[in-house]
Amino acid sequence: MAVVRPFKGIRPSKDLVEKVASLPYDVMNREEAKNMANGNEYSFLHVVRAEIDVEDDMDQYNPIVYKTARKNLDKMIDDKILVTEDKPCYYIYRQIMFGRVQTGIVGCTSIDDYMNNVIKKHEFTRPAKEVDRINNFDYCNANTAPIFLTYRKNNELNTIINDYIKFNKPIYNFTSEDDITHIVWAINGDSIVDNINNIFKNIDYLYIADGHHRSASSVKVGLKRREENSDYTGEEEFNYFLSVIFPDEDLFIMDYNRVVKDLNGYTVEEFINKISNKFIVEEYSQGSYRPDKKHTFGMYLDGKWYKLTAKDSITNKENIVERLDVAILQDNLLGPILNIEDPRTDKRIDFIGGIRGLEELEKRVDEGMKVAFSMYPTTIDDLMEVADTGEVMPPKSTWFEPKLRSGLFIHRLS
């Protein structure tokens, strides 16, 4: 069973919510974050990317950065830019993008559930990236960004959410600069809070959709606080971390595409001949090629698009991970032909979220990269099956849209 509970949320005042809410910290670099926050003292990027408020040449992992994040957060609270709830709440968070709607519950989930695999993972994490968020959360004494979780749909919970939306006014309703609508309702009635608690107790597993590093960091901060408080009971806030939990049926996974700097010494003709051993290669003359089913790939090379279809010999795998398109491309082309053995660390490969479109792949190749691959999106069923079997996906397998806004909800750890 999953343990989910309400919390005393810290959130923007209603009149400033559009200025406070920011894109998540990990979808931009330092320069982009600074430009986004330029002229907006209320942006939550001043907390989640506080390196924008120190000298440009200072290392972004310097302790001064995290102290600045804490100072900025405290000031936003002192100045009433952020307000604190009087009692623990759940929230309903709805996002609308391109007419698609996803609606989830915002609450706190248990670090014990994470460690006991009630909260299931599907990716490896990198220690350096964990340390960054550990420091941000620990210095700020808060989960400054939520984890994106999912669960197999539950009709009872759907009914509660839909009924509450029907009869209650939202506390926020705004459209961000990327044309995504964000609507939030606060739930603080004792009976409905108890109902939500009990429903989650009957949900066997939660799955991390996005935020593996944030969740790992949250857990490590909680464990650190347990060491510092040997008489802890398990009820303290540091035993829980901020999460937004959506039903699987609502989620939208986009393609996560690849671009590579060179052909590993092959000419274009040699490269095409080489990949023809594992893929059927067809020149595509109808514009850019977006795969419309599993085991097909687009390839942009030398100003032309190709359709690649994986041969049966490389798709008939018993292991769920080996059947994933991201694994098929890695195991049969990127690794053995282009010599990209570890895509997490190899500087010759880059990854482009599907939200940027296939035009971005053409642009990157035309500007100096050598070859790009468009992917068919990994499905939510794939993600859950991988997590259920205890496996992990190859790096950069999923790109979820829309992204959760930072600054809408903050969870104090003590």
Name the maximum alpha-carbon separation found in the chain.
68
If pLDDT is split at 50, 70 and 90, which confidence band does 127 have? confident
CB atoms within 10 A of CB 229: 12
If pLDDT is split at 50, 70 and 90, which confidence band does 129 have? confident
Strand, helix or coil for residue 358: helix
Degrees to nearest 5, angle at CA 330 with 325 and 332: 95
Integer Cα distance of 11 and 144 in angstroms: 11
Whole-number percent of the chain with pLDDT over 70: 100
Residue 328 has pLDDT above 90, yes or no: yes
Residue 413 backbone phi and psi in degrees, to 5? -90, -20
Integer Cα distance of 1 and 201 in angstroms: 5
pLDDT score, position 128: 83
Mean pLDDT of 39-53: 97
Whole-number percent of the chain with pLDDT over 90: 95
pLDDT score, position 126: 83
Mean pLDDT of 297-306: 98
pLDDT score, position 344: 85
- Name the one residue in this structure whose structure tokens are 């671009």: 259
CB atoms within 10 A of CB 281: 14
Mean pLDDT of 62-84: 98
CB 258 within 8 A of CB 350: yes
Closest CA to 29 of 14, 51, 53: 51
Kindly list the domain boundaries of the chain, sorted by start residue: 4-252+401-412, 256-376
The overall average pLDDT reported for the chain is 96
Mean pLDDT of 214-240: 97
Integer Cα distance of 4 and 201 in angstroms: 8
pLDDT, tens only, 246-282:
999 999 999 999 999 999 999 999 999 999 999 999 9
CB 208 within 8 A of CB 118: no
Integer Cα distance of 145 and 410 in angstroms: 7
Taking domain 256-376, whether its CATH number is 3.30.310 is answered by: no
If pLDDT is split at 50, 70 and 90, which confidence band does 331 have? very high
CB atoms within 10 A of CB 286: 7
Give the CA dihedral 113, 115, 117, 121, nearest 10 degrees: 110
pLDDT, tens only, 333-375:
999 999 999 998 899 999 999 999 999 999 999 999 999 999 9
| Secondary structure element (H or E) that encloses residue 131, with its range | helix 127-140
